[in-house]
Structures are given as structure tokens and as C-alpha cells.
Amino acid sequence: MKFVEILIEGYSQEIESDLQDMLAAAKSRGMQNVPTELLVGQLVSMGHNVNNNSIMMLLNGNPFVQTASPDQVNLKPDDGAGVSGDAEAEQDSEEKVSQMAQQTADSSIQQDDIA
């Protein structure tokens, strides 16, 4: 195996691991949907070179993902629990997404200030 292939494989495993951690965190917070741009922003802030389209290959086949598009990732519901249409739960999910987006934006601004 060539050295370059080993590096690429290691990088691929690293980005998959980081993505898996982010999706697990979103699920543990009760989120059902995550904007793809939010995931991309967090991965970029971790030093990964991804965009909305390139992340699709990583999302397809991920055990936490029900469906994924360049706009949004729909997470699988927990076992034995269906997707509820409860407006309060949806509002909580929107608030969590907003908080995550704000954290990503703040992190990006801090990194810009440092550079």
C-alpha cells in the first residue's frame, strides 16, 4: 500500500469519526433534523476540507442518518419511537439548531480574529 493511500484512508476515518460524533450529539439532544451547512461548518472549523456536496458520501450509509440532502440531514428516530408531530418538540429542535449554528458562527469569528 502506498503512503498516500494510507494518509487518505486515515483522513477519511478521522472525518467519519468526527461526523459520527456530531450526529450522535445531535441525536442525544433530541434533534430530528440537522442543516447540512451546520455539519459542514463544524467540520471545517475542525480543519476538514468539506462542502455540502462532498459530505453526502459520508452521510449515506451512516447509521444515524435516515435521509440526507445538500440542505438537510434527517436523523433516524429512536427504536420504538416514531417521529412526532408535536409543535413543542419541533420548536425545541429549531432552538437547538439555532444554538449550534450560533456556536459555529462564534467559533468561526474567533478563529478569524486570531488569524
Q: What is the pLDDT of residues 21-37, one digit of tens each?
A: 999 999 999 999 999 99
Terminal-residue alpha carbon distance, the chain: 37
Residue pair 73/36 in contact (Cβ under 8 Å)? The answer is yes
**Predicted model pTM:** 0.60
* Tens place of pLDDT per residue across the chain (115 aa): 554 444 444 457 888 889 999 999 999 999 999 999 999 999 999 998 888 888 998 898 889 999 999 999 999 987 654 444 555 665 666 677 777 777 777 776 766 666 5
Bridge partners (DSSP) of residue 90 are: none
Domain borders along the chain are 3-76+86-104
Looking at this protein, which amino acid is placed at residue 86? Answer: D
Bridge partners (DSSP) of residue 34 are: 73
